[in-house]
Amino acid sequence: AGVAGVTLGEAIQMDASTSPVNRLVDADVNSEQIVGTCLETAASGARFLYELMPRSVDLA
């Protein structure tokens, strides 16, 4: 997980702005760069499960 970690059930996206290795973080509202949905909560640097759904959009 990226700097801020990830949250169960939230859409996730790449975190290129704060991580040189493109870690995943919770997506911004109305983000169109969704990688998938997080299946568990994880802290920064931890490995976690997620469902890969690259065409989904996180709309408010």
What does the pLDDT look like over 14-60, one tens digit per residue?
Answer: 887 766 777 888 988 888 788 899 999 999 888 999 999 877 665 65
Give me the pLDDT at residue 58, please: 59
Give me the pLDDT at residue 1, please: 62
0.85 exceeded by the pTM?
no
Whether the pLDDT of residue 12 is over 70: the answer is: yes
Contacts of 5 (CB under 8 A, 6+ apart): 25, 26, 41, 42, 43, 44, 46
Give me the pLDDT at residue 17, please: 74
